[in-house]
C-alpha cells in the first residue's frame, strides 16, 4: 500500500467546538494554565528591541513570554492568496501579553481567541532574564491539523517548560484551509503572481516565521545559528517539506518531524488548480483573468471556510507541487540528497491508524495491497484482520517511511535519529489499540494535565507519576537535541544515531525508554517491497 495524496491531509475525528466531554475540554486546560500563570505572579517582562519595534511581554516565575507578535503583513483584502508581506512596525512599546487571533478555519477545537484572516502572529517563551547575545538554542514549533485547522495558542503547545530548560521556544500561526492552500489559474499565472511562488501560502507563512526568527531571535537571547524546527502531523509534513524546499534552505540548523508521512508526494499544481476552478465555478466565478482573481478575493471568508466531507474529499486543501516552495515528493528528494543536510530526528506513534478508524471495518483491501494476505497476516502475528489492518496502516504511513528517510540520511552521512512512541497511560491500556496520532505532543511539551480532558475525541486521564516519567524523558531528549544536535545528551539510555547496518531506534513505551534493533524489520521490508512494486507498475 502506498501513502498517497489521500494521506496528505490527515485529520482526526475532532470534537464539536465547546463540547464538554467527561467534564473537561482542552479549552478548560488553557484556562488552568492561565490561572497557574496568575498564581505564579505574572508581571511585565523586560523590553525587547526587535526590528519592528519594542515589545513588552509577561514574566511568570522563571519564564518570560511574548505573545501575539506580528511576523508578516496581515493577509487580508488584496493580500489574500499572496506571499506574506513585510511585518508591520510600530512606535513606542507594544504589549505582547495576549495571543493573537487564530487563522480562519472550521472550529474543530475550542479556542479562547477570535478567528480572523489577520492572524499571522507568533509567540516566544524564553528563560526569565535571558539577554541579547546569550545564544540559547531555539526551537520553532509548527502545529498539525491536516492543513485545515490548528493554532499556535493551543494550550498543550505552551512553551514554558522548554524555556525553563534553557530553550527559546517559538510558536506561530500559519494560514490553513483554502486561505493557506489554494490554486487557481487566475492567481497562479501572469502578472498576478509576478513569477513568485503560488498556492502554498501556508508554507510561505512558515518560511516567513523562520525568517523572522533568524532576524529577531537574538534580541530574545536566542542563537539564530541553532534553530530547530519541529512539528507534528501536518506540522511534521511541513518539516519534511521544508527540509526539501530550496526556499527554506539555511533557515534552521536541525529538524524534528513527528508523524511526518515521509512518502507523501503532494498533488500537482494542475490538479490543485482544477480543484480551485471547481470551487470558483460553484460560487459563480468564471474565467482565469484579473477579474476572476478580484472576485475570488472578494468572496466572504465564511464561503471559503466550508466544511469537507472527509479524507476522500478531493477538495481538501493541502500543499501542491508549485515548483518553487515544493519541488518534489519527500522521499524522492531525500533519495537524491536534495534535502537540507542537518541533524534530523523523526518518528511516530504505535496507533497512527487512529486517523482512519474505519480501516478496521474494511481490512481486506488494506491487507491485499501489501502482498499475499496470508503472508501479511502471518507477519503481523496471525492477529485478526482488523488489528492487522490497523498496524499495517500505521507502518505504511509512518514507521516504514521514517526508516526510509533515515536510511537515505545515513547513506549521505547526515545524522538521523528515529523514535517509536507506544506509551499509553495504564488506565487506557485495556481499551486502547496503541498510542494514537498526536498523543506524544503533551509529553514532548511536558504539558500533561493533572485532570482528565478530551483531545480529538480521545478521553485522556489525568497524568500519573508513571506518565510524568515518560514526559520527563521525551522532553529531555527533545531539549538535548535542540542544544547539541544529539538526543543522547539527555542523560537517559543512549539514543543511537540511525545507521543502515545498526537499524536502531528508541521506543518510548510501557517499559520506559528502550533501544530497539531491527524494529519490525520483516513488516517494514514487506511494505518497502510493496512501495517499490507500485512505483514500477505500468
Question: CA–CA separation, 201 vs 130, rounded Å?
Answer: 33
How many residues in total does the chain contain? 538
**Strand duo 168-172 + 136-142: pairing:** parallel
* 514 three-state secondary structure: strand
Q: Which of 352, 391, 408, 507 is catalytic?
A: 352
437 is catalytic: yes
Cβ(325)–Cβ(197) below 8 Å = yes
Residue 401's CB is within 10 A of a number of other CB atoms, namely: 29
Candidates 160, 155, 257, 241; CA nearest to 206 is: 241
Contacts of 515 (CB under 8 A, 6+ apart): 493, 494, 495, 496, 504, 505, 506, 507
Question: CA–CA separation, 391 vs 399, rounded Å?
Answer: 10
Q: Which of 184, 420, 437, 475 is catalytic?
A: 437
169 is written with which cell numbers?
A: 521556544
79 is written with which cell numbers?
A: 493580500
Residue 441's CB is within 10 A of a number of other CB atoms, namely: 22
Question: CA–CA separation, 483 vs 489, rounded Å?
Answer: 9
Contacts of 374 (CB under 8 A, 6+ apart): none
Q: Strands (DSSP E) along 96-210, which ranges? A: 102-103, 115-116, 121-127, 136-142, 168-172
Q: What angle do CA 502, 443, 231 make, to 5 degrees?
A: 75
Measured CA distances, 534 to 4, 108, 399, 521, 522 (Å):
11, 35, 18, 20, 19
Q: What angle do CA 70, 73, 162 make, to 5 degrees?
A: 30
Candidates 239, 535, 264, 496; CA nearest to 398 is: 264
**Strand duo 54-56 + 48-49: pairing:** antiparallel
Contacts of 439 (CB under 8 A, 6+ apart): 349, 421, 424, 455, 458, 460
Q: For cell 521556544, name the residue.
A: 169
Q: What residues pair up with 346 in beta bridges, in sequence order?
A: 257, 418
How far the first Cα of the chain sits from its last, in Å, is: 16
Q: For cell 500519573, name the residue.
A: 464
Candidates 128, 129, 168, 244; CA nearest to 482 is: 168
Q: Which of 65, 233, 354, 439 is catalytic?
A: 233
By annotation, the residues acting in catalysis are 233, 352, 437
Amino acid at each position: 500500500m502506498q501513502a498517497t495524496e489521500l494521506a496528505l491531509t490527515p485529520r482526526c475525528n475532532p470534537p464539536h467546538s465547546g463540547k464538554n466531554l467527561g467534564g473537561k475540554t482542552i479549552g478548560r486546560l488553557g484556562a488552568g494554565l492561565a490561572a497557574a500563570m496568575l498564581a505564579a505572579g505574572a508581571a511585565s517582562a523586560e523590553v525587547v528591541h526587535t526590528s519592528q519595534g519594542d515589545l513588552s511581554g509577561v514574566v511568570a516565575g522563571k519564564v518570560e513570554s511574548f505573545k501575539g507578535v506580528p511576523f508578516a503583513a496581515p493577509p487580508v483584502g488584496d493580500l489574500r492568496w499572496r506571499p506574506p508581506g513585510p511585518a508591520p512596525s510600530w512606535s513606542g512599546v507594544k504589549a505582547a501579553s495576549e495571543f493573537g487571533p487564530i487563522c480562519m478555519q472550521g472550529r474543530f477545537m475550542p479556542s479562547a481567541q477570535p478567528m480572523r484572516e489577520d492572524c499571522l502572529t507568533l509567540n516566544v517563551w524564553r528563560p526569565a532574564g535571558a539577554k541579547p547575545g546569550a545564544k540559547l538554542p531555539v526551537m520553532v514549533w509548527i502545529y498539525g491539523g491536516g492543513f485545515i485547522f490548528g493554532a499556535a495558542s493551543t494550550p498543550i503547545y505552551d512553551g514554558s517548560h522548554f524555556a525553563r530548560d534553557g530553550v527559546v521556544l517559538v510558536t506561530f500561526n500559519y494560514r490553513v484551509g483554502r486561505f493557506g492552500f489554494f490554486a487557481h489559474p487566475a492567481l497562479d499565472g501572469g502578472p498576478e503572481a509576478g513569477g513568485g511562488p503560488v498556492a502554498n501560502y501556508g508554507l510561505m507563512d512558515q518560511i516567513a516565521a523562520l525568517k523572522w526568527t533568524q532576524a529577531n531571535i537574538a534580541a530574545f537571547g536566542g542563537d539564530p545559528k541553532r534553530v530547530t524546527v519541529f512539528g507534528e502531523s501536518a506540522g511534521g509534513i511541513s518539516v519534511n517539506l521544508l527540509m526539501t524546499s530550496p526556499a527554506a534552505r539555511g533557515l534552521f540548523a536541525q529538524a524534528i518531524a513527528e508523524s511526518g508521512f515521509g512518502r507523501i508526494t503532494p498533488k500537482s499544481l494542475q490538479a490543485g488548480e482544477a480543484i480551485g476552478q471547481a470551487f470558483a465555478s460553484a460560487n459563480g466565478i468564471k474565467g482565469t483573468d484579473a477579474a476572476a482573481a478580484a472576485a475570488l478575493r472578494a468572496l466572504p471568508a465564511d464561503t471559503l471556510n466550508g466544511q469537507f466531507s472527509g479524507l476522500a474529499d478531493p477538495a481538501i486543501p493541502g500543499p501542491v507541487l508549485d515548483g518553487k516552495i515544493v519541488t518534489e515528493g519527500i522521499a524522492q528528494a531525500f533519495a537524491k540528497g536534495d534535502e537540507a543536510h542537518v541533524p534530523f530526528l523523526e518518528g511516530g506513534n504505535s496507533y497512527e491508524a487512529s486517523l482512519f478508524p474505519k480501516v478496521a471495518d474494511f481490512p481486506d483491501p488494506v491487507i491485499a495491497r501489501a502482498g499475499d494476505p496470508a503472508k501479511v497476516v502471518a507477519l503481523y502475528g496471525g492477529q485478526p484482520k482488523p488489528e492487522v489492518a490497523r498496524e499495517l496502516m500505521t507502518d505504511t504511513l509512518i514507521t516504514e517511511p521514517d526508516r526510509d528517510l533515515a536510511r537515505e540520511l545515513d547513506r549521505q552521512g547526515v545524522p538521523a535519529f528515529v523514535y517509536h512512541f507506544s506509551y499509553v497511560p495504564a488506565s487506557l491500556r485495556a481499551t486502547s489499540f496503541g498510542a494514537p496520532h498526536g498523543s506524544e505532543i503533551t509529553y514532548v511539551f511536558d504539558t500533561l494535565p493533572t485532570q482528565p480532558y478530551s483531545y480529538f475525541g480521545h478521553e485522556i486521564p489525568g497524568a500519573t507519576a508513571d506518565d510524568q516519567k515518560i514526559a520527563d524523558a521525551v522532553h529531555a531528549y527533545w531539549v538535548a537535541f535542540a542544544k547539541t544536535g544529539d538526543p543522547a545528551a539527555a542523560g537517559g539510555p543512549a539514543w543511537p544515531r540511525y545507521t543502515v547496518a545498526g537499524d536502531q531506534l528508541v521506543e518510548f513505551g510501557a517499559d520506559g525508554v528502550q533501544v530497539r534493533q531491527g524494529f519490525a524489520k520483516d513488516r517494514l521490508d514487506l511494505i518497502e517491497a510493496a512501495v517499490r512494486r507500485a512505483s514500477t507498475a505500468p
